[in-house]
Amino acid sequence: MVSQGQADQYRSQAGAAAVERLEQELAALHSRRRELSEGLDNRDSAGDRADAAAALEQSEDLSWVDERIAQVTEQIGQLRDGTDPGGDDELADGTVATLQFADGTTRTMRAVAITEEIMEGEESTAMTIGSPLARALVGRSAGDTVTYQSPAGEVRAEVIAIEMPASSR
């Protein structure tokens, strides 16, 4: 079983790594935005239809970059202030659950709201807060049995332990 201290330490490390990756992405997005914006500003207004199509495509790219900048900025803020982006019907970001499956295997999984929080090499122990398993764990406690749909079919597991993050208690 994972202790509360271990769970908090893991969340802290994962959160710091996620913020670093997101800040790198944000810097790249700002650079890309400058390039796209300068390209639009430097266009000759007397162009043909191909030029107009290219300008339209560049404008759409700029719009996508602006939306992604807003998303990444929000994600960084959530990670820094511990805001849980999930609702009452979602497992809290950072929840750590230990499950025993029908075949006898036991796995400890961590719920993440932001996929960038998943540390390299730990993809198999992470679940998104909107996944079928995470939704099945909402409101559950040790000793409960959960059932959810996986790509391989229905899965049943017993909740051995479930540790909510300190910010959601």
Q: Residue 133 CB: number of other CB atoms within 10 A?
A: 19
Better-scored residue on pLDDT, 90 or 7: 90
Question: Residue 52: pLDDT band by 50, 70, 90 thresholds?
Answer: confident
Tell me phi and psi for residue 37, to 5 degrees: -65, -45
135-149 pLDDT tens trace: 999 989 999 999 998
Q: Residue 46 CB: number of other CB atoms within 10 A?
A: 6
- Spatial distance between the Cα atoms of 99 and 117, rounded to a whole number of angstroms: 21
Helix axes 4-41, 49-81, angle to 10 degrees: 160
Residue 160 has pLDDT above 80, yes or no: yes
Distances (CA, A) of 135 to 12, 95, 111, 119, 167: 23, 12, 10, 22, 19
CATH topology of domain 96-168: Chitinase A; domain 3 (3.10.50)
Lowest mean pLDDT among 70-79, 96-105, 106-115, 122-131: 70-79
Better-scored residue on pLDDT, 8 or 25: 25
